[in-house]
Amino acid sequence: MALEHPHTVLSNRLPWPLNHFFARSHMHGPGAIGWRPEGRDGAKRSAAVAAMLEARAFISAALPLRLGEGRVFISSRNGHFSKSDALFLAHLMEQIFPVIETIEVLDRMASEAAATERLKISLDLHDTAVQPYIGLRMGLCALRKKAAADNPLLEDLDKLAEVASGVIADLRRFAGAVKAGPESSCGLVLHQLYSQAARIQGLYGIEISVNVEGHVRLDDRMTAEVLQMVGEGLNNICKHTQARRGSVRIGCRNGCLHLRIENEGDEENFAPFRPRSLSDRAAALGGRAQVSRCRGGGTEVLIEIPI
């Protein structure tokens, strides 16, 4: 920032003895027709900058920032720069940085609007989704108290009340995550996957294992999509198979998220099919879903999504 603002500076260290006859540094001011050599003070500043950059030559242009001042530097240890290089850099910065600042302002406005919308959605979730489930659980508990001790539906009522409590807890966590914003989570939330697996085992007796291969780091939007697809895949296992065990495997390789949902079974006549909902969700994210047969006789759904 020691260079004179908002001039464009060109500095080339000439070999001996040319350095005694020609100026090392030149500057071009706004609206100027040509270049002019820097004075003694300017030459010292340019020499100090070149030493700091450990460069034989450098060009520098001012950044047209709305708030504050800035400069951009391009340096070379062996080569040299021409005046046309310096002017091109200055013109480039004049065109690029106003666009970048405009994008930043728009992004900030969008983030603030999104935060307001997230708060509204979280409140709506609490009023329209959580409260009805709380009422359902209270009704089930009241019905449970009315039933006699020998009523054969007592176990089913307890299971339904437990399911309602689990859904209420999930909805509250989801509403809290929506309200907190994208900084509330840095990646895939494993305990939610384990919660889904535990619910499936409690209701259907199907043991679901969850495995994360390597380091998986996703934003909130992708995390929500993954949890939704895992839920749909597990529901398909419960509805359409006789499997007693299944697995969910998640990993990132080659810039893609790999989500694999498997179930064990003894299906002898495997017919390829297309899970419409999972395929549509994957396609909306730029990926694909395919179904194949496992070695154990079950079904494997592989979802690949670029991230």
Per-residue H/E/C for the chain: CCCCCCCEEEEECCCCCHHHCCCCEEEECCCCCCCEECCHHHHHHHHHHHHHHCCCEEEEEEECCCCCCEEEEEEECCCCCCHHHHHHHHHHHHHHHHHHHHHHHHHHHHHHHHHHHHHHHHHHHHHHHHHHHHHHHHHHHHHHHHCCCCCCCHHHHHHHHHHHHHHHHHHHHHHHHHHHCHHHCCCCCHHHHHHHHHHHHHHHCCEEEEEEECCCCCCHHHHHHHHHHHHHHHHHHHHHCCCCEEEEEEEEECCEEEEEEEECCCCCCCCCCCCHHHHHHHHHCCCEEEEEECCCCCEEEEEEEEC
Sign of CA dihedral 190, 191, 192, 198: positive
Cα distance between residue 112 and residue 109, in whole Å = 5
Q: Which residues contact 102 (CB under 8 A, 6 or more apart)?
A: none
* Token pair belonging to 150: 């020998």
Radius of gyration of the chain (CA): 32
Domain ranges in the chain are 8-81, 185-307
Q: Which fold has domain 185-307?
A: Heat Shock Protein 90 (3.30.565)
Query: pLDDT tens string for the chain (307 positions)?
Result: 677 778 888 888 766 665 555 557 888 877 667 787 877 787 788 888 888 888 889 999 888 777 777 888 999 888 888 888 988 998 888 888 778 777 777 767 766 776 777 777 777 777 777 888 888 888 888 888 888 888 888 888 888 888 888 888 877 777 776 666 554 444 446 767 887 888 888 778 889 998 888 777 776 667 778 888 998 888 888 888 888 889 999 988 888 899 999 988 755 555 667 788 888 888 888 899 988 887 667 788 999 998 8
